[in-house]
Amino acid sequence: MNLTIERSALLKSLQHVQSVVERRNTIPILSNVLLSADEGALGLTATDMDIAVVDRAACEVRQAGATTAPAHMLYDIVRKLPEGGQIELVVEGESLQVRSGRSSFTLMCLPTEDFPAMTEGDLSHRFALPAGDLMRLIDKTRFAISTEETRYYLNGIYLHAVAANGAAILRAVATDGHRLARVEVDLPDGAEDMPGIIVPRKAVGEIHKLLEDSAEQVQVALSETKIRFDVGGTVLTSKLIDGTFPDYARVIPEDNDKVMDVDGKDFAAAVDRVSTISSDKSRAIKLSIGPGKLVLSANSPEQASATEELSVEYDFEAIDIGFNSRYVLDMTQQIEGDSMRFRMADAASPTTVSDSSDPRALYVLMPMRV
């Protein structure tokens, strides 16, 4: 293999693929990126056996061929080379020569035949989704993905098609048992019969990175075991979580009768200030809500305390309710409108939170004893 490629083109492709590679690998070949040059393009593939990312970059190919090289090391080399330069990649025996200007690097390669191929199988459901819609589904739900490995079926975003209020929608849901996020977009053509799937947390993060570079349509193909995203020519294929997502509708209360409207930015800032002195373990804050006002308070084992009062729209009986401040702050980051609406029943029941500017997003917080 012998080729010349622009530094910017190679760097962009390496950015897309190298983050899939785990820093520590017991299988040496999984630390490498597969490089294959042919017909004026360099193909790059990286995998951790659960996710595979494939990208292509235009280049001048003098000799077609393929090799594998350490993914993170190659990325760091290219990242540190001067902007605007040309990079020459040449395979010599069992090593890859990386040359640019007066810089030269030699990387040891592993055989391409050892590189694992990820079979997609029959991806029978296919549809196109605006990149903005997919970004919104991910952005507004991924904070609630569980990191608890024992309940592995919560370690991702549940994507499924539903009919609600006479409309066909694509819904994303994530929960860790303490908070829940549910976001909807219009159902794309072709997604009507898709199965409900759980996209793993790592795949969600990788797709989010790809979407930051794209304003295009995303081509999605899926089966009950795998999903493939084509984002501007970069293709990510991931296994899905093999499990049953719980019936989340059961934890979303429908009849919470105490409604509080509060300025979103003021509320988030007040929670952030008051929670400064709450203990690292519980992170508890108390909301004491009465007609027209909300008092936020927190206490610490060191006898420290904090309170802050906010004006709110509330005209119901007084209620004291406690929450984990970190969960509240994670949720407030998703609020884009001027105000947030809390719907409560009592101090022990789930509270729903909605965004004044986004009726298609709903959040649920479980209260805690304070």
Ramachandran angles phi, psi of 192, nearest 5°: -60, -40
Q: Residue 291: helix, strand or coil by DSSP? A: coil
**Residue 193 to residues 22, 197, 223, 290: CA-CA distances in angstroms?**
35, 12, 11, 47
Q: Residue 276: helix, strand or coil by DSSP? A: helix
Tens digit of each residue's pLDDT (9 = 90 or more) over 156-171 = 999 999 998 888 999 9
**Which of the pair, 303 or 207, is modelled with greater confidence?**
207
The type of residue at 347 is A
The tokens of 17 are what? 């693929």
Domains and CATH numbers, the chain: 2-114 (3.10.150.10), 125-249 (3.10.150.10), 252-365 (3.10.150.10)
Q: Residue 128: helix, strand or coil by DSSP? A: strand
Contacts of 327 (CB under 8 A, 6+ apart): 178, 179, 365
Residue 329 exposed, middle or buried by CB count within 10 Å (0-12, 13-18, 19+): middle
Ramachandran angles phi, psi of 172, nearest 5°: -115, 135
Tens digit of each residue's pLDDT (9 = 90 or more) over 37-73 = 999 999 999 999 999 999 999 999 999 999 999 999 9
Q: What is the model's pTM?
A: 0.93
- d(C-alpha 234, C-alpha 204), whole Å: 15
Tens digit of each residue's pLDDT (9 = 90 or more) over 60-119 = 999 999 999 999 999 999 999 999 999 999 999 999 999 999 999 999 999 999 999 888
